[in-house]
Amino acid sequence: MITAIICAAGKGERAGFNRNKVLEELNGLSVLSYSLSAFSPLADEMIVVCRKEDKVEIQKLLSPYPNAKTVTGGATRTESVYNGLKEAKGEIVLVHDAARPFVTEKIINDCIESVKKYGSGVCALPATDTTVLAENGKITSVPARKSVYTVQTPQGFLTKKLLAAYEQAFIDGNEFTDDSGIYAHYIENPYLFTGERTNKKLTYPEDFVPAERVGFGVDTHAFYGEGEGRPFINFITLGGVKIPSDKILKAHSDGDVLVHALMDALLSAAGLRDIGYYFPDTDPKYKGAFSMDMLEEVMRLVRAEGLAPKNVSIAILAETPRLSPHIERIKQSLSEALNLPENAIGVAAGTNERLGYVGEKKGITVYATALLQKI
């Protein structure tokens, strides 16, 4: 029988929330729920160690799991896990931090296998950065990188042995940051198994930004009417591509209504302000500006937020000119500007059935959505 102890007794102070961070939502699901659904098929029993204040809320999250219960934590992590261990019925126990919601079935299975084979299994990754030991701001030693690992959870042990270690630590009044430390101190050096980079711990507020974010943008430009002193050009610009047109769009810049809608979609997905804020048309700098240059600047702003486009979808409403012969070139142009494959860029063009300002050939409207992902 296998018991999973899920530690959820933190206060979330470093994450900057007023409450326990594992109750915060991530893509519409509480952080704790991710671990519950990962462990549920593999553990016979799940014990969530939590603070008294969070118990009611956590018990609600446990309702889909009849094999799960809460245990009140203590003042320290050591005390909290000890409280959970005393209730564990399984002969194997897996201790996991609820703040690591991306734990996978493979990690949990590898952990169980390691315990069955070696009596212990600590999830760890080889260090990719050089780590050093330091005191008073000065390096005291530099361990060889190949012998340095960063330790994650879950960490699995034979329940009896881990409980014995905790009992002794409790008597001694010793505090440890994790179970591998306590086990190594009182029992023996535990075995490692390889974890996954994605199994990361949510610590800071930015860790809670959803991995994918969608944005929407729309823009309309009017055509010059009869006798409005239009410039003597015979094209409009859409997606950086010059398209032959009898009617010309009015604009402060090059009038690339498609790129304007797209930029607003990208900025909106990143939670930034709109293009009017970054490129005010009162600024002479942007008179006649090439919108593709502004798009480059928007991409810099989006990247600075740690985000990059995953795909974009654009719908053009225009009664004139005929756009279908130019769609492929627009896709190529955007593919380069957004650093996306062409199959991640959708461009649809349609008329408005002669209805409204689009139908009367008074202007063009473009709608755009952009999906951004964390980089």
Determine the residue with CB nearest Mg ion. Answer: 260
Evaluate whether 313 touches 261 at the Cβ level (below 8 Å): no
Residue 257 beta carbon to Mg ion: minimum distance, rounded to whole angstroms: 6
Query: Which CB sits closer to Mg ion, 288 or 325?
Result: 288
How far is it, in rounded angstroms, from Cα 114 to Cα 224? 73
Residue 239 beta carbon to Mg ion: minimum distance, rounded to whole angstroms: 13
Residue 344 beta carbon to Mg ion: minimum distance, rounded to whole angstroms: 24
Evaluate whether 26 touches 210 at the Cβ level (below 8 Å): yes
Residue 309 beta carbon to Mg ion: minimum distance, rounded to whole angstroms: 20
Query: Which CB sits closer to Mg ion, 179 or 219?
Result: 219
Query: Which CB sits closer to Mg ion, 178 or 219?
Result: 219
The helix/strand/coil state of 210 is coil
Per CB under 5 A, residues contacting Mg ion are: 219, 260
Residue 306 beta carbon to Mg ion: minimum distance, rounded to whole angstroms: 27
Query: Which CB sits closer to Mg ion, 183 or 279?
Result: 279
Q: At which residue do the structure tokens 């409403």 appear? A: 317
Q: How far is CA 148 from CA 128, 134, 144, 292, in A?
A: 9, 15, 7, 46
Query: Which CB sits closer to Mg ion, 206 or 296?
Result: 296
Strands annotated E in the chain = 2-8, 25-26, 29-30, 45-50, 68-72, 92-97, 120-126, 133-135, 138-141, 149-158, 192-194, 212-222, 235-238, 241-244, 307-317, 345-350, 363-374
